[in-house]
Chain A
Amino acid sequence: MPAESGAISRDEVAHLARLARLAVTDEELDVFAGQLDVILGSVARVGEVAADDIPPTSHAVPLENVFRPDVRRPGLSQEQALSGAPAAEDGRFRVPRILGEEQ
């Protein structure tokens, strides 16, 4: 990942923007590349104190195996589920078509 070198290229920002389907202008690319660089640089400072014998941490609390029994719990009605949707049709969430993708 680019964090190692502490620099994120303009192309990488453009690629990330495409993955997130964000329309980013050329000027914005310059601005974001600079800003992201600062953020990555700050985070990279952690690496300065983390020695090889310290494994990367994903969870702050040492917990394992938290499970729930396979028992049903009441959820939302269709009306409740769709109540926050900007658009709905036939009981379904309505979204703009996604360009260039087919799952």
Chain B
Amino acid sequence: MTAPVLVDYADVVARYEPTLGLEVHVELSTNTKMFCGCPTEFGAEPNTQVCPTCLGLPGSLPVVNRTAVESAIRIGLALNCSIAPWGRFARKNYFYPDMPKNFQTSQYDEPICVDGYMDVTLDDGSTVRVEIERAHMEEDTGKSLHVGGATGRIHGAEYSLLDYNRAGVPLIEIVTKMIPDTGGRAPEVARAYVTQLRDLVKSLGVSDVRMDQGSMRCDVNLSLSPTGSGVLGTRTETKNVNSLRSVERAVRYEMSRQAGVLDAGGEIVQETRHFEEQSGTTRAGRRKETSEDYRYFPEPDLVPIAPSAEWVEELRGTLPEKPWERRARIQESWGLSDEELRDLVNAGALDLIEATVAAGAPAGEARSWWVAYLTQQANTRGVELDQLPITPLQVARVVALVASGDLNNKLARQVVDGVLAGEGEPDTVVEARGLKVVSDDGALIAAVDEALAAQPDVVEKIKSGKVQAAGAIVGAVMKATKGQADAKRVRELIIERCT
């Protein structure tokens, strides 16, 4: 195959109008699969989270996971969708071993959520309304490993190995309507939409939405039409777009590639393409089967889902504040600049700080712990901030202990270290490690007198009015008490005893 001719991006934008469409799959973080009671943990040993139902063994029957349906409805409501009062699952038939049943249970013409929208904010603060066509329930497929091919791809492979742990994990597919008129900002709009959708779904607590682990996946549909022609071009569907940055790159690349084909008088083939993370390019996959080829029909083993208006309203009542509204509120009340807010969001610290503040800590202290010391600890351990074994409640307790004078900053860090090391609650760590600040005068006076006696020259300086010389004595006392002395009280005692 010859290398595609790429048209310079500015040139594409000058002569073509892109039409964008995005399909996002979200894996739900339910305890169990969509139609059976198997666990859904990521990264388990192959074929250890399977049962007769998700292996499609004869005689097994699926039963719908109620929590998965609730999650689907909540996602739909958060996207301003209507919830279908009645709908069925459908079988999507295709010949590929990633579903042992030989079909995928999905929804076809009766999706549970329809006709929504999300207003997406771009970097410059402007807003684009992205309309949602549908959000439907389905199940994830198993994972294939192609053996014998040089690249792990099926071409040249001798055989494939299948792990069905993921087969049957609840999946919500969210499909936008065609997004027209984005022009040169199409890549940015795509990225902003997926970012905002990720944050929204995360705020609902229904999915990890980790693109790196595949719990959120994006397919990019893109077509070009000559500017002003009004004729919609043929679209391609690019899969395997596994990061926010890749969403942007995939759109941009497809625009340049399709323009190259069109400029040469060629035709865009309706096909599935695969995004290559390394090169930022896409390559042709299979020709798209038509939906007729999937021979969809109503799933006879599952009865229809008919959410009552009461149930839907009850679920609507559980929707949290929208993440972008919440951010605006926090930014205002904490007095953050746009840049400071963005840093907190990117560090994954915003939720943690907010929860720490909710637990009683002042915003400044809460922020300082999470963005400084705890971010350092997370980096050292190579984990995300929210994966550190310390809770906002525990951080708030440490902050309170500092505020009450029971801990100084140095001791507070040791308490946090203790919590991170699994030694229990902050108070337990204080007790077990004996970390309380010593502000008991009796114990301090002895240490102060000892330090004064050791440095008579300093005593003379203090007596002659050079109060700042007391610092040397404070240092000696802190050393003698292993940092546990209340430095402020120590200074007061030194002055007292030298005058």
Contacts and interface: CB of A to CB of B under 8 A. Distances in A.
A15 to B, nearest CB: 8
A62 B51 CA distance: 28
Contacts of B94: 19
B46 A73 contact: no
Contacts of A75: 36-38, 49-51, 54
A68 B64 contact: yes
A93 B162 contact: yes
Nearest to A65: B306
Contact of B286 (A58, A64, A66, A101): A101
Interface string A38-67: 000000000000000000001101011111
B31 to A, nearest CB: 5
Contacts of A21: 95
B298 A58 contact: yes
A98 B95 contact: yes
B68 interface: yes
Contacts of B304: 59, 64-65
Contact of B158 (A78, A97, A103): A97
Contact of A67 (B52, B65, B88): B65
Contacts of B48: 77-78, 81, 91
Contacts of A81: 47-48, 50, 55, 164
B155 interface: yes
B159 A96 contact: yes
Prevailing SS type, chain A contact patch: loop
Contacts of A101: 95-96, 154, 286
B453 interface: no
Interface in A84-103: 84, 89-98, 100-103
B96 A103 contact: yes
Contacts of A82: 47
B95 A19 contact: yes
A72 B293 CA distance: 35
B96 A90 contact: no
Contacts of B86: 64
Contacts of B49: 75
A76 to B, nearest CB: 6
A48 B173 CA distance: 38
B47 A73 contact: no
Contact of B32 (A72, A84, A94, A103): A72
B162 A92 contact: yes
A59 B88 CA distance: 10
A92 B37 CA distance: 21
A71 B96 contact: no
Contact of A78 (B30, B45, B146): B45
Contacts of A76: 50-52, 55
Nearest to A64: B306
Nearest to B31: A70
B163 A91 contact: yes
Contacts of A77: 48
A102 B97 contact: no
A97 B161 contact: no
B96 A73 contact: no
A73 B97 contact: no
A59 B158 contact: no
Nearest to A63: B303
Interface in B230-265: none
Contacts of A63: 303
Kindly list the 8 A-B residue pairs having the minimum CB-CB distance in the complex, ordered from nearest. Answer: A73-B37, A75-B51, A67-B66, A58-B298, A70-B67, A92-B161, A93-B162, A91-B46
Given A65-B306, A76-B50, A95-B97, 18 more contacts: A21-B95, A59-B298, A64-B86, A66-B303, A73-B36, A74-B51, A75-B36, A75-B54, A89-B161, A93-B97, A93-B161, A93-B162, A94-B161, A95-B160, A95-B162, A97-B157, A101-B96, A101-B154
23 contacts: A20-B95, A58-B300, A61-B303, A67-B63, A67-B65, A68-B64, A68-B66, A70-B32, A72-B32, A72-B39, A73-B38, A74-B37, A78-B47, A81-B48, A93-B164, A95-B97, A97-B158, A97-B160, A101-B154, A102-B285, A103-B98, A103-B141, A103-B286
Interface of B: 30-32, 36-39, 45-52, 54-55, 57, 63-69, 86, 88, 93-98, 100, 141, 144-148, 153-155, 157-164, 274, 285-286, 289, 293, 295, 298, 300, 302-307
